[in-house]
Amino acid sequence: MRQWLGSMPPPDPDFDDTAGDSRPPPDRFARPAPASGPAPGSAPGPTGGPAPAPPPGVSVPLSRAAAPAYAPPAQPAPATAAAPGGTPGAPGAPGNDVRVALWGASGSGKSTYLWALPRALHGKAGRSDGWTITPLDDTSRTYLADAETALVVDRVLPQGTLSSLSVRWLLARSSRSPFDRLRPAPASRILLTVEDRPGGDYKDALDAAVAQLADADAIIYLYDPVSDSRERSETFQAFSSTLRAVSNRMLRNGQLREDGRLPQHLAVCVTKFDDPAIFDRACRGNWATQSDTKPYLPRIADRYAHDFFAELCKSTGGTGEEVRRLIQDSFMKERVRYYVTSSIGFNLDHEDEFDPDDYGNLDHEPAPQRGPRRPGADTSPQYRERLRSIPVPVNVLEPLVDLDRLVRRDRRGGLLRSRSGGTAGRRP
């Protein structure tokens, strides 16, 4: 085992990382110092050990020591009869499916996230025990079969959504995993949906996305800092126009909160943690930790994910800062969570362990030619990305698990208040 990285902080058994945590973070991604002491000129790390200095010309990320501590989550507002995902005649009943919509700009990684989800459910991730995935129509079934074959057998990535994409999967778990509290609880049932129609009529595509998001109990938003730094306008315009349309639709339906904010829970996922531009920044800034169990994967703890997201928004040159401002203005603070994710994970060595010296999980190979080339067509060689090892996704399943738990917590709270004579019948 190569344990070059700092140890991961112990997980919260209830997955509640929003509570304040004043513990200083451990050294992250710093090789052990020689026995004789720290290297000359090295600055002390947050726990006294040496921390790597950034190379010349690289800005130093925000210090977590200066970051505001997270406040405990506020008590949820009362649930109502109009809650999305509820069954007519049984508003807010705890046994109903939790509807989660997947959202992101073109190229943000929606297709890759969907392809990696079966691996997160049934692969090496410890929290995946007991989950099943069921497609709800023929299109979703075909998409799932293609995803599993592509990642496990062919080890290739989706080439992006060139045609209309409509996927509806039911994720269910009938028993709790060892990482959950040992207490009776109803089965988890998550209806995951995604609507993406690039290249077609803009109004039809926007209407489909708006309907999906407005009807959801919770939303997973994929923010790709790599693409945002290259295509600034597309990331912000897609986010802003869709968000305004969702707010307008819910206002017309009487579902918008009185303060103008959306009532849905939101998981903001910073994608492509495995990309060198993102991973190296996390190393230099001591943001990440390494798991203590095989395959010893790196990750950024959820309690630090918002601060890392804020640092990326300020330093990558994209529109992330505007996206972050809209998130703060449009959603309830206590219903927003942040994650740093990687759908394809990191390359594992021959012992199925993470190696910080060779972590990239993508290679480029010549793409197979399909049919004869047309006269005058580009004759330069074409390449496609190929996975070096079967993916072990990082933080792909966790946002779904957390959103399911939080929505059901709100439903139980609203049901108890209605039985005790509290205010009910109006959406928070």
pLDDT at 221: 96
The answer to whether 151 and 158 are in contact (CB under 8 A) is no
Residue 271 lies in a domain: yes
Which run of H or E residues covers position 50?
Answer: strand 50-51
Quick check: 38 pLDDT over 90? no
Q: Where are the beta strands (DSSP E) in 262-420?
A: 265-270, 289-290, 298-299, 336-340, 362-366, 383-387
The two beta strands, 265-270 and 218-223, are: parallel
More confident position, 66 or 260: 260
Residue 166 forms beta bridges with which residues? 195
Token representation of residue 254: 């009487």
In this structure, the number of other CB atoms found within 10 A of the CB of residue 240 comes to 15
Q: Is 229 domain-assigned? A: yes
Residue 426 lies in a domain: no
Q: How many domains, the chain? A: 1
For the segment 71-96, the average pLDDT, to the nearest whole number, is: 42
Helix axes 302-315, 276-284, angle to 10 degrees: 110
Instruction: Report yes or no on 108 lying in a domain.
Output: yes
How many Cα neighbours within 13 Å face the side chain of 56? 0
- CA 413 vs CA 79, 337, 423, 426: distances in Å: 7, 20, 11, 14
298 is a domain residue: yes
Beta strands of 197-252 (E only): which ranges?
Answer: 218-223
Residue 103: its H or E element? strand 98-104
Residue-number span of the structural domain to which 359 is assigned: 98-368+382-419
pLDDT at 107 over 90: no
What tens digit of pLDDT does each residue of 276-317 get?
A: 999 999 989 999 988 888 889 999 999 999 999 999 988 877
DSSP letters along 132-156, please? EEEESSHHHHHHHHHHHHIIIII-B
In this structure, the strands spanning 298-299 and 289-290 are antiparallel
Residue 157 lies in a domain: yes
Which residues lie closer than 8 Å to 165 by C-beta, 6 or more apart?
110, 111, 143, 194, 195, 196, 197
User: What distance in Å separates the CA atoms of residue 164 and residue 314, rounded to the nearest whole number?
Assistant: 33
Residue 129 has pLDDT above 70, yes or no: no
CB distance 366 to 381 below 8 Å: yes
8 A C-beta contact, residue 260 and residue 87: no
HEC readout, 177-207: CCCCCCCCCCCEEEEEEEEECCCCCHHHHHH
The mean pLDDT value for 14-28 works out to 41
Residue 181, pLDDT > 60, answer: no
Structure tokens at 86: 């509820």
Assess whether pLDDT exceeds 50 at residue 426. no
Give the integer Cα–Cα distance in Å for 331 and 144.
31
Residue 93: pLDDT band with limits 50, 70, 90: very low
Q: Is 375 left (phi over 0), alpha (psi -120 to 50) or beta?
A: beta
Could you tell me the two tokens for 161?
């959504």
What's the rounded Cα separation, in Å, for the pair 225 and 319?
9
Is residue 37 situated within a structural domain? no
* H or E segment and range at residue 121: helix 110-122
DSSP sequence for 337-369: EEEE-BSS---B-TTS-B-TTS---EEEEEPPP
Query: Does the residue 183 lie in any domain?
Result: yes
Q: Mean pLDDT for the chain?
A: 73
CATH number of the domain bearing residue 185? 3.40.50
Torsion sign over Cα 177, 13, 75, 423? positive
Residue-wise pLDDT tens digits, 403-418: 999 999 998 876 555 5
Contact between residue 305 and residue 338 where contact means Cβ atoms under 8 Å apart: yes
What gap in Å lies between CA 147 and CA 142, rounded to an integer? 9
Say if CB 403 and CB 220 are below 8 A apart. yes
For residue 133, pLDDT beyond 60: yes
- Describe the crossing of helices 110-122 and 138-149 by its angle, rounded to 10 degrees: 70
Tokens of 130: 């007991």
pTM across the whole model: 0.72
CB 337 within 8 A of CB 264: no
Task: Output 294 or 266, whichever has higher pLDDT.
Answer: 266
